[in-house]
Structure 1
Amino acid sequence: MQRKAYVPGVAVLLAALLAGCTSGSANGGTADDSKGSNTGTTASAAEPGKYRTLPEACGSVPHDTLDSLLPGIKQITDEQQREKAYAGDATLTYDTDRRDGCQWKVESTTATDHLLVDFERVVSYDNAVSDDAKATGVFAGKETAAHLPEPSASSSGTDTNPSDTATPSSTASSSGSGSASDPGSDSASASETPADLQPRTLDGLGDEAFLNDKLSSASSAARQRTVTVVFRTSNVIVTIEYAEQPTASTDAPDSKEMQDRARKLAQKLADALNG
């Protein structure tokens, strides 16, 4: 009888011990999971960029702006050809939500003008880096690659908005030069170019912006000037390339006039993005 009474007691004791171990393990597991969960919710992902899509580049430039940048359009007498010139040619892209561009090329009686508008939406795939931070780095790389000269001592360091009046084209050869680091640019030193026309960073355009201005070598048959404006707003980077090559080899495109036109277009695109 004592043997029979003892066996159930041992069983009860073992059951209690097993229950205690199971309970402790469950409580411990719950505590660890809870800590891991809290850690996961505390470390928040970086902020996404403001923009999830891009404008259609070929439809982003108004006709009146194209008339100013590409004077040859108004000289096209055939209506269908003129509309085709306004429409531009879309650049090759595989995802228009990430990149979209358009280019125009129009000849006039005095020059051939080129225009390129490119939208790039930057996306960070690193949870610790926001889209804006990633775009800031991409923009910095573009600015570094432009090799902008150091601001001259006479410059106030504050860029002004483009004026409504342009300097006469006769002053072009003395007012513009390319980057000194570009072997294909004008040989004139940066000191011979007015500070407000030199390649430089720009104020009041997007979150950050810069302008580059290059004039082909004097030995070229016809001197082509290319003005580039690049600006960033949040996680979108916009690039405008505006080039003009005169028909006469003795002429040089006017720097101020081309810069003003390119900057006015850049401001319109920036306002449209923020609108």
Structure 2
Amino acid sequence: MQRKAYVPGVAALLVAVLAGCTASPDSGGQSDDSNPGSAGTASQAAQPGRYATLPEPCGAVDGRTLEELLPGLVELTEEQQREKAYAGEATLTYDTDRKVGCRWKVESTAATDRLLVDFERVVSYDNAVSDDAQAEELFARKQTAARLPVPTVTGSGSPSPSASGSTGPAATGTPTVPGSPPSSSTASPSVAPSDLQPRVLEDLGDEAFLDDGLDSSGSTAQERTVTVAFRTSNVIVTIEYAEQPVTVGAVPDSKEMQDRARKLAAELSDALGG
């Protein structure tokens, strides 16, 4: 009688032990299969960005576009000097897979023009943050640092509702680009001042903005710098286009420079497939 009572007890104990081992998380067996829909580390990892490489920066701008931005190029007569001017100079970088750039500087009889094109590929090292999300955060910081005025306008140049009801200079047609005297601007009277203000652009990449500043410090001619920055997936592109006239008191045309910089930005965006 005692033997019959003992054997079932041993069998029950053995079944319990085996069941415990099978259900152990360390076994990697039944615990994973019991909930196939659970997200593991691999499934939680954020997706990489679209771009794994960057273009060669000094070859990213074609010769015709360079001539529009840097009029002094066509004035160069010496072949070696022309080749060097068109080729540009690569900016210093320690990782060409992450950040590259190229700069050009050309003098003409009317002004000195400078162009900088910079490409930055953003990579997130946080499995919970995608490359695109990391790039979006960095671009937001860049835009905040630009301190764009309010109200902003659309990429097509249409003022926002808060600007359209203005009764200031926009109503009279007097251009008042930030940083430049109203009397020195060559913009058409039909162009509202908000069309030339630093602003968000809605027709370029995933997001973009334009900045326009005039440096009137010192006794030399005033230098205008137009910056266009845009993001496409995990790549941020920045264009800095500056012009300093030879004649003291002359002011570079804001609209002309903005149009040239935006045209280059659109070409680079198309080349990236953005």
Which secondary structure state, in structure 1, belongs to the residue aligned with residue 106 of structure 2?
strand
User: Which residue does 1:118 correspond to in 2?
Assistant: 118
In structure 1, C-alpha distance between the alignment counterparts of 2:176 and 2:53, rounded to whole Å: 37
Partner letter of residue 86 of structure 1? Y
In structure 1, C-alpha distance between the alignment counterparts of 2:226 and 2:99, rounded to whole Å: 21
1:25 Cα deviation from its structure 2 partner: 2.7
User: Which residue does 1:221 correspond to in 2?
Assistant: 220
User: Which residue does 1:257 correspond to in 2?
Assistant: 256
Alignment: residue pair count: 244
Change (3 A) 1:208 1:58: same
User: Which residue does 1:164 correspond to in 2?
Assistant: none
CA contact (8 A) 2:223 2:252 kept: yes
Q: Which moved more, 1:19-28 or 1:201-210?
A: 19-28
In structure 2, C-alpha distance between the alignment counterparts of 1:176 and 1:266, rounded to whole Å: 25
Q: Which moved more, 1:125-134 or 1:107-116?
A: 125-134
Partner letter of residue 261 of structure 1? R
Partner letter of residue 49 of structure 2? G
In structure 2, C-alpha distance between the alignment counterparts of 1:210 and 1:41, rounded to whole Å: 39
Q: CA RMSD in A?
A: 2.8
Which secondary structure state, in structure 1, belongs to the residue aligned with residue 44 of structure 2?
coil
Q: Does 1:160 align with 2:186?
A: no
1:217 Cα deviation from its structure 2 partner: 2.0
Which secondary structure state, in structure 1, belongs to the residue aligned with residue 15 of structure 2?
helix
In structure 1, C-alpha distance between the alignment counterparts of 2:254 and 2:38, rounded to whole Å: 57
In structure 2, C-alpha distance between the alignment counterparts of 1:127 and 1:71, rounded to whole Å: 47
In structure 1, C-alpha distance between the alignment counterparts of 2:205 and 2:156, rounded to whole Å: 14
CA contact (8 A) 1:246 1:253 kept: yes
**CA deviation digits over 1:177-210, x for unaligned, max 9?**
44xxxxxx4477xxx9711111111121111111
User: Which residue does 1:61 correspond to in 2?
Assistant: 61
1:32 Cα deviation from its structure 2 partner: 3.2
Q: Does 1:20 align with 2:15?
A: yes
In structure 2, C-alpha distance between the alignment counterparts of 1:203 and 1:32, rounded to whole Å: 49
CA contact (8 A) 1:175 1:255 kept: no
CA contact (8 A) 1:63 1:86 kept: yes
Q: How does 1:3-82 map to 2 (within 5 A)?
A: 16=11, 19-29=14-24, 30-34=29-33, 39-41=38-40, 43-82=43-82
1:158 Cα deviation from its structure 2 partner: 2.8
Q: Which moved more, 1:11-20 or 1:121-130?
A: 11-20
Partner letter of residue 80 of structure 2? Q
Q: Given the two structures, how large is their TM-score scaled by the length of structure 2?
A: 0.79
Structure 2 unmatched runs, 5+: 158-173, 183-190
**CA deviation digits over 1:156-183, x for unaligned, max 9?**
x43327xxxxxxxxxxxx74644xxxxx
1:92 Cα deviation from its structure 2 partner: 0.9
**CA deviation digits over 1:219-245, x for unaligned, max 9?**
542100000000111111100000000
Change (3 A) 1:98 1:37: farther
User: Which residue does 2:107 correspond to in 1?
Assistant: 107
Which secondary structure state, in structure 2, belongs to the residue aligned with residue 267 of structure 1?
helix
Q: Given the two structures, how large is their TM-score scaled by the length of structure 1?
A: 0.79
**CA deviation digits over 1:70-118, x for unaligned, max 9?**
1111111111110111111101111111111000011111111100000
Which secondary structure state, in structure 2, belongs to the residue aligned with residue 39 of structure 1?
coil
User: Which residue does 2:131 correspond to in 1?
Assistant: 131
Structure 1 unmatched runs, 5+: 1-5, 162-173, 179-184
Q: Which moved more, 1:21-30 or 1:195-204?
A: 21-30
Q: Does 1:198 align with 2:197?
A: yes
1:26 Cα deviation from its structure 2 partner: 2.4
User: Which residue does 2:168 correspond to in 1?
Assistant: none
